[in-house]
Structure 1
Amino acid sequence: MEWAGWRRGGRDLTDAVVAVVVALLIRYAIVDPPGPSSPWSAWSAWPVAAVLSFPIAVRRRRPRVMLAVACAAGTGVTMAGAVAAGAIWLTFVPTALVLYLVAATASIVWSAAGLAVCLSAAVTAILVYYVQVFPGLALAATPSEMPAAWPIEIGAIGVLLTVAWVLGTVVRWKRDTTARLVRHLADAAVTDERRRIARELHDIIGHSMSLIAVKATVANHVADARPQEVRAALAVIEETSRSTLTEIHRVLGLLRSDGDPQQDAVPAPGMADLPGLAAHARSAGVEVELTVREEAALPAAVAVSVYRIVQQALTNVVTHVGPARCAVTVDVDGREAVIEVVDDGPRHGRPPRAGHGGHGGHGGHGLIGMRERTKMYGGTFDAGPRSEGGFRVSARLPYAPDGTAA
């Protein structure tokens, strides 16, 4: 706020300085013109120059009003003969400067209308001056004085006003283009964030609900015969539900504004949480063999992606294969993270559960999410059935030391 006020004050000061400079030029041209002198007294040059230049000093506060004032003042003093023949174009310099600001801030229709009105007023004023005022002026005192001519005056003012309008219009177009680009980038950032949060929720809920569904099915089938297994299944469901709620709370916290009250931040999952994923899958009947080789600590952002890819791959095994053997390998060498999840397929030759297409198929949201996470780092992703049976998921995530794509 203070910076905006300081900048506005600096612009007002600049306009005031420009107004003083233009007033001095106009006063000098009236007193010592290139053509016949004005019939007005020499002392009148000061108030005339001040009136003509005043709109420049306050043009930022009321651009449209000051354009009307500047144009009316230039037209009035020209018709009244208070200007210098051969230098009437200086009288409309304030109009041009205000017109530039109007073109840079107002709509193109409004600024074009302002240009048309100012040009018409200037042409009318010059013609009136050369018809009614100029014939009565004293001839040039010396041959070196330049003869005045209305076509030259009209042409100079026309070029001056048109150039000012074009420059202002170009500035406004560039400003609008930049604003649209900024809005587009902001919208793209919001869309990317929504996709990221959707991936997070999909991975969290998909993994947890698959595990809960499996344990609930087991509990339902053995409720009468083996009540101890029911308690064990309910304990897994309880633990999974609590951890899922905690992770959902963390993800949804990203959607809150900075001013909203928040509870203590929950750390994002990472490499240290991979054993917990394996334990959950084992509780659902999948024999998981986890191997982690970490030669260098992973940046937090990459660690989350690795965790989510492993989580989704295990979720697919629990959901679409059921009891099976699965090998999870994560290899980190400081430059890239390589993930491989391989299962042996359903036991006893049982086909994958109907309706899932074997791990969700290549069009499933799980594989799409894993592929998107890999693509964020410019890595490679591959998933498909193995010739010897089962399914294989492989991902390679190259990364820079700061956690961005390599």
Structure 2
Amino acid sequence: MQTMYSWFRRHPMVADAAWAALLFLLCALVIAVNWDNGQLAFALMVSTVVLCSMLVIRRSRPDLAVWVGIGTGLVQVACGSRVNVADFALLLLAYTAAAFAHVWTSRAALIAGLAAGPLAWLRFYGAHASPNPPPGRPDNHVWIDVIMSVVFSTPFLLCWVLGRLTRIRRAYYVQLEDRAARLERERDAQAKIAVAAERARIARELHDVVAHNVSVMIVQADGASFVMDSSPEQARQALATIAGTGRQALEEMRRLLGLLRSADSGGEYLPQPGVEQLPDLLDQVRNAGLPVVFEVEGEPRELPRGVELTAYRIVQEALTNARKHGGPRAAARVRIRFDDRGVDVLIEDDGRGATAQLARDGGQDGFGHGLIGMRERVGMVGGTLNVGPGSNGGFRIDARLPLKPTRGKRPEPAPVPPPESAPEPAATPDPALAPHLPRA
């Protein structure tokens, strides 16, 4: 039964033809009874054929079927042909007009349905329908005519309302399908955007980790090879620094690769670095041969994790660039300043290498992906980034990062002031080794 119902749903014209054939058979029985009256039988036959034909095409040509049905009803009233079984098709055409036809056809069908009751009653059954009304008929027949006219129009009105509800429901389903399709497209687009953003974030993390740690390892390796014969102890300490830097890089690489694993695969990874890890980073940079002055201004406060990571990566990338391009005797200064509205991260160097050339070019990103990554990170937290020449002729990076409302105070990071004269590497065993260390 379900298979047959589904088949008729897919072939509506066949279902309409079956109903039209059934109605035609019923009308044929009525015509056979009135066969002696040739004029009446002919009128019934014509109206039956026309109305049953309109039932067949009511879905494919709803406007044509409705207007032909209205015309057939008017002809019946004008010719005085009494209502027959085929006129039940007019009820179905009223439903068709409201459910499938255009707006003006639907309105015309509603008006015709409301007028069908009074016309049929007054034409065939009312007090004026017969010139000789039966004795005892009340003279005040107006209320009877009104009530019976309403009764005769009610089926047409109900069919039209049912068709209207069908149209509304169908439009609602179409709207739901369109909304579901639109939401699916938006979901796919958002998924692609999220994947691209995640890839960009991981790429920035990989660049920062690899560029910094590998450059430190290269500098230490070159210095160790330079003093291998003359100072084996310094060479061993340089190799120890290389090993420690490599372990740190390996730990961060494991954390980044863990981001690529599925959420339910388990496993804990190291937390992302923040401002508290800056002293360790500065010690590592000093060990690589770049003197760094670290200053903290204002009262340290708790930072959002995204701001902390951004500040750490900006300092890391700026010091890496200063070490690679600042020249053999460059020095740097890092200042973290807290206030009520945000935190400023300032990194300056007095180098004269590629970093100075970058400053003269207006801070363009043509030297690599470092400044591009800085701008993206600062933009993600709603901050601003300014790059350009420094006060000492080197390169200057100034980042303004906004803060959320204070939720608590964080212990002030221990500043690591350099010597007052010329900053030297804090953790280098022998200061004489620093000038001989080549730049990465």
Measured after TM superposition, the shift of residue 296 of structure 1 is 1.4
Given candidates 59, 62, 72, the residue that maps to 1:119 is 59
- The percent identity for this pair of structures is 34
CA distance in 2 between counterparts of 1:75 and 1:167 reads: 28
1:325 has 2:267 as partner? no
The 5 Å alignment of 1:349-360 reads 351-352=352-353
Residues 338-370 of structure 1 deviation map (CA, whole Å, 9 limit, x = unaligned):
10001122xxxxx41699957996213111111
Letter in 1 for 2:60: S
CA contact (8 A) 1:290 1:329 kept: yes
Q: Which runs of 5+ in 2 are unaligned?
A: 28-55, 102-162, 408-440
Given candidates 362, 365, 378, the residue that maps to 2:364 is 362
Corresponding position of 2:292 = 288
CA distance in 2 between counterparts of 1:148 and 1:117 reads: 14
The alignment covers a number of residue pairs equal to: 301
Secondary structure of the corresponding residue to residue 378 of structure 1: coil
Residues 273-319 of structure 1 deviation map (CA, whole Å, 9 limit, x = unaligned):
00011101111111111113443111222111111111111111111
Secondary structure of the corresponding residue to residue 294 of structure 2: strand
Secondary structure of the corresponding residue to residue 81 of structure 1: helix
Secondary structure of the corresponding residue to residue 120 of structure 1: coil
Measured after TM superposition, the shift of residue 170 of structure 1 is 4.0
- The more displaced of 253-262 and 211-220 is 253-262
C-alpha spacing 1:378/1:73, structure 2 compared with 1 (3 Å):
same
**Structure 1 residue ranges, 4+ long, deviating more than 6 angstroms after superposition:** 82-85, 121-128, 161-164
* Alignment TM-score, normalising by the size of structure 1: 0.63
CA contact (8 A) 1:215 1:237 kept: yes
Secondary structure of the corresponding residue to residue 263 of structure 2: coil
C-alpha spacing 1:338/1:158, structure 2 compared with 1 (3 Å):
same
CA distance in 2 between counterparts of 1:68 and 1:124 reads: 22
CA contact (8 A) 1:76 1:125 kept: no
Corresponding position of 1:344 = 350
Given candidates 67, 76, 94, the residue that maps to 2:9 is 67
Corresponding position of 1:244 = 249
Measured after TM superposition, the shift of residue 335 of structure 1 is 3.1
Letter in 2 for 1:158: F
Measured after TM superposition, the shift of residue 379 of structure 1 is 1.6
Corresponding position of 1:113 = none
CA contact (8 A) 1:297 1:334 kept: no
- The more displaced of 207-216 and 158-167 is 158-167
Q: Which runs of 5+ in 1 are unaligned?
A: 1-53, 86-115, 346-350
Secondary structure of the corresponding residue to residue 389 of structure 1: coil
CA distance in 2 between counterparts of 1:163 and 1:230 reads: 84
Residues 33-89 of structure 1 deviation map (CA, whole Å, 9 limit, x = unaligned):
xxxxxxxxxxxxxxxxxxxxx98xx9xxx996462376644442233129999xxxx
1:379 has 2:322 as partner? no
CA contact (8 A) 1:250 1:266 kept: yes
Letter in 1 for 2:364: H
CA distance in 2 between counterparts of 1:194 and 1:209 reads: 21
- RMSD of aligned Cα (Å): 4.3
1:79 has 2:21 as partner? yes
C-alpha spacing 1:140/1:65, structure 2 compared with 1 (3 Å):
closer
Question: Does 1 or 2 have the higher relative contact order (CA < 8 Å, sep 6+)?
Answer: 2
CA contact (8 A) 2:63 2:97 kept: no
Corresponding position of 1:335 = 341
Measured after TM superposition, the shift of residue 172 of structure 1 is 2.6
Measured after TM superposition, the shift of residue 152 of structure 1 is 5.7
